[in-house]
Structure formats: structure tokens, C-alpha cells
């Protein structure tokens, strides 16, 4: 790595403005459980030009990319951007990352890059009404793949997609679901694999253009954030409206297009997904939905909104004891509220937290539920 590359990273991330205050390390959920990990030190090493040290550290791969440090930094150093650029550079020297799930998720994405026709719409059964041509597009993301890969966790990520279609039908939207969509590629980008990310982004852009959609509805906040914030940097503007399903439902509730019935469980608490919360600043829409369920109670967790803790590993790398401990802390906080159900709005939160719940040596008295499932179960009529 040349000096020009380091200068480039410093310039793009405002790293030279770092005042060495340590706010990032103090906030970092990884630093809490792993004393050797320090975002501040990584940035310092970069500023001093110790690239070889950064290269050989595991530190750069331990970051959860939750964005808590970027939000809190008083000097506006973009640590997320720093991680992304540094990983891209380091990736040139090594391919041996600490992949989780045996690299299967990265492998499926790499196969998707080739653009061959998939069979990803098999989950649509007769009960679900989807149209071939509509101005609304429902972006499934990797849910069909999660359904197969995380079978052992007894979760059904595709139910999220099915329920989303049901909810949209209630609101009066008949969306199309495309077979030629591919993964949004965020995980590859944060693995440092920029080339394949750009290829995926181009494929998705082409798909959206061909579909003629004007509004794309997402159930996965990561896909939404990637398309909204990262795609324009790589493949140009998309000229479509991108919206999360909770925003749509919240709107429908306010306009009284949709009514919720009371549910068996009364006490809920909500986990802010990093991409939806800190990334897109959608905090109130999902909370309003839960509050709209009659007789229900939304109990605040110890750390929520901007201060919310990440569900654990990101980009399907570095699933370690440390991330497991972060998940246990989060589940403990959720249980402490006295809620019966922990609602999340991100498939990755569901996967990671249910993995922690299924551990042998812990016993948390709380259930997990995706917000689309909750809405679909309590919808009237």
C-alpha cells in the first residue's frame, strides 16, 4: 500500500481531525468485551503511517460496522468509511478473513455476480398476490438464502417476505417480485471486495430499470441503506423512491388504511437495527406500529435509539466469543425490561439473536419476532 492510498483514506474519512479523545473506543461495543480492540488506535496507526501493523491486526476485521463511533465522534471522523477503505486495501494482501458460516454467504453472492438466472421466487404461493407489472417492487434480498442456510436455528426468514406481501395487500398495494434481483452486496463491500459489490450493484440497477418500478419496498434495512446511501456513489442515482415497510405501515396506520388488533402478548420491546436506526434514522416508525397495537405496551430498553447496541457480527465475518458476549448483554437488557417479546426489524438481528438464544448454557425468558410477522398477526380483517 502506497503512501498516496493512506493519504486518500485520511482525506476521505476526516481522520486528520481526530483529537484523540477516545470517545469511539469508549462507545465501541467490541472494546467493552475485548480490551485489545480500539477504534481510536486503528485511526492513530493510520495517521502515523503504520500500515503494516494495521494489515497484520485482526482489529480491522473485528469492527461490527454498527456506526456508534461515527455518530458520537465530536470531530466527525467517519470510522465506517475508514473500515471500508482500509479493508479494501488490506484485502489485496490477504484473502484469509475470519469468515463465519464457512463462507457460504460470500460464496452465494459471488455466484450471483455471474448473473445467471436464479430460482429465488419459489416462496410465492397461490395465497400471495403479486403482479407482473406494477409501480411497486418488493425487494426480497437474501431471505430465500437465509431460509436454507439458517435452517438449524428454527427461524423462517421467508415468513417475513410472505407477511410483507400480505401486509401490502391490506394496504392496497400489489407489488411485483423479481426473479432477477441479486443480493445488495453490502456484506461483500464490507469484506473489502469492492469489485464484486459494483457488479452486484450494476445488476440490481439494471433490474430496477427493466422493471419500471417507481417505488421499492424493503423488509431488510441493510438492503435499503445500501441502495439509498452507497449505490449512488458507485453506480449513480437510481431515480426511484426507496422505502422501508415499517414506514409504509406507519403511514397507513396514520391514514387509517390499516387497523391492528390486540395480540396475545402484551409487553414488547424493540431492538433498533443499526442500518435502520443510526444508518437511516428511522426510529419512530416501528415504535409507532407497536404502540398502535391495542392493549400493548412498548417497554424501553436500557440502550436504544442512537445508543442501541448492535446484534453482533456484521458482513458475515468475525463471529467470535466477543460478539456472542455482546449478544448476551443485549438479550439480558431486553429481558430486564420485563417484555415477553423482543421485536426487531432486520433479518440479521433475528438470525444473530436467535443463535445466541439457542446457546446451551443460557436461558433467557424472551422471544424474538420480526416486525412484519407482528403486523401480519395483528392485522384486522
Partner 1 sequence: MKSKKTKQRKTKGKTQKKKTVKTKKDIEPRIITFACNWCSYAGADLAGVSRMQYPPTSRIIRVMCSGRIIPTFILDALTDGADGVIVSGCHFEDCHYISGSKKAEKMIESTKKLMHLLGMDERRLRFELISAAEGAKFASVAREFTEEIKNIMKEKHGKK
Q: Which grid cell sits at 329?
A: 448483554
Q: Is 154 in the site for partner 1 (CB under 8 A)?
A: no
Report CA torsion sign: 237, 238, 240, 241. Answer: negative
Contacts with partner 1, 106-125, as mask; x by CB under 8 A = -xx-xxx---xxxxx-x---
The nearer residue to partner 1, 152 or 237, going by C-beta atoms, is 152
> Using CB under 8 A, which of the segments 49-57, 105-113, 161-169, 266-274 binds partner 1?
105-113
**In the bound complex, what is the minimum distance in angstroms from residue 196's beta carbon to partner 1?**
13
Number of C-alpha atoms within 13 angstroms, CB side, residue 133?
2
CB nearer partner 1, residue 119 or residue 154: 119
CB of 165 to partner 1, least distance (A): 18
> Phi/psi zone of residue 293: left (φ > 0), alpha (ψ -120 to 50 degrees), beta?
beta
Of the candidates 32, 72, 91, 103, which one interacts with partner 1 according to CB under 8 A?
Answer: 103
CB of 251 vs partner 1, minimal distance in Å: 33
With CA atoms as reference, report the closest residue to 80 among 110, 100, 103, 60: 60
367 binding partner 1? (CB under 8 A): no
Residue with Cβ nearer partner 1 (96 or 116): 116
Distance CA 337, CA 341 (A): 10
Kindly report the CA angle at 309 between 352 and 291, in degrees rounded to 5? 90
Cell numbers for 271? 431492538
Comparison of 122 and 229: residue with beta carbon closer to partner 1: 122
d(CA 333, CA 205): 40
User: Does residue 359 touch partner 1 according to CB under 8 A?
Assistant: no
Q: To the nearest whole angstrom, how small is the minimum distance from the Cβ of residue 110 to partner 1?
A: 7
Q: Is 99 helix (H, G, I), strand (E, B) or coil?
A: strand
Closer residue to partner 1 (CB): 120 or 228? 120
Instruction: For residue 281, give the C-alpha cell.
Output: 434514522
Closest CA to 322 of 36, 103, 23, 27: 36
Q: Of 282 and 317, which CB lies nearer to partner 1 in the complex structure?
A: 317
Which spans of this chain sit near partner 1 (rule: CB under 8 A)? 102-104, 107-108, 110-112, 116-120, 122, 144-145, 148-149, 151
Amino acid at each position: 500500500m502506497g503512501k498516496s492510498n493512506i493519504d486518500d483514506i485520511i482525506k476521505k474519512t476526516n481522520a486528520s481531525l481526530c483529537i484523540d479523545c477516545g470517545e469511539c473506543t469508549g462507545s465501541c461495543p467490541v472494546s467493552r468485551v475485548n480490551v485489545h480492540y480500539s477504534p481510536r488506535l486503528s485511526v492513530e496507526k493510520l495517521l502515523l503511517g503504520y500500515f503494516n501493523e494495521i494489515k497484520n491486526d485482526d482489529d480491522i476485521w473485528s469492527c461490527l460496522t454498527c456506526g456508534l463511533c461515527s455518530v458520537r465522534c465530536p470531530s466527525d471522523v467517519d470510522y465506517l468509511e475508514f473500515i471500508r477503505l482500509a479493508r479494501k486495501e488490506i484485502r489485496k494482501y490477504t484473502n484469509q478473513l475470519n469468515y463465519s458460516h464457512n463462507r457460504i454467504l460470500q460464496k452465494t453472492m459471488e455466484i450471483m455476480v455471474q448473473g445467471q438466472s436464479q430460482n429465488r421466487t419459489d416462496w410465492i404461493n397461490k395465497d400471495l398476490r403479486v403482479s407482473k407489472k406494477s409501480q411497486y417492487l418488493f425487494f426480497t434480498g437474501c431471505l430465500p438464502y437465509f431460509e436454507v442456510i439458517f435452517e438449524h436455528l428454527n427461524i423462517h426468514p421467508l415468513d417475513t417476505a410472505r407477511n410483507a406481501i400480505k401486509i401490502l395487500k391490506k394496504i392496497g398495494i400489489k407489488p411485483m417480485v423479481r426473479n432477477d434481483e441479486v443480493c445488495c452486496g453490502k456484506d461483500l463491500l464490507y469484506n473489502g471486495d469492492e469489485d464484486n459489490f459494483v457488479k452486484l450493484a450494476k445488476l440490481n440497477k439494471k433490474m430496477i430499470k427493466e422493471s419500471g418500478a417507481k417505488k421499492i419496498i424493503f423488509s431488510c434495512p441493510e438492503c435499503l441503506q445500501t441502495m439509498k446511501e452507497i449505490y449512488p456513489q458507485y453506480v449513480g442515482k437510481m431515480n426511484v423512491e426507496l422505502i422501508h415497510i415499517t414506514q409504509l405501515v406507519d403511514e397507513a396506520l396514520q391514514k387509517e388504511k390499516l387497523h391492528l388488533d390486540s395480540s396475545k402478548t402484551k409487553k414488547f420491546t424493540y431492538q433498533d437495527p443499526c442500518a435502520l436506526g443510526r444508518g437511516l434514522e428511522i426510529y419512530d416508525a416501528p415504535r409507532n406500529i407497536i404502540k398502535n397495537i391495542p392493549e400493548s405496551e412498548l417497554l424501553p430498553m436500557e440502550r436504544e435509539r442512537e445508543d442501541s447496541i448492535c446484534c453482533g457480527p456484521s458482513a458475515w465475518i468475525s463471529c467470535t466469543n466477543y460478539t456472542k458476549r455482546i449478544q448476551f448483554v443485549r438479550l439480558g437488557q431486553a429481558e430486564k425490561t420485563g417484555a415477553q417479546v423482543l421485536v426487531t426489524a432486520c433479518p440479521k438481528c433475528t438470525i444473530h439473536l436467535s443463535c445466541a438464544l439457542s446457546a446451551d448454557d443460557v436461558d433467557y425468558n424472551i422471544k424474538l419476532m420480526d416486525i412484519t410477522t407482528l403486523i401480519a398477526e395483528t392485522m384486522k380483517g
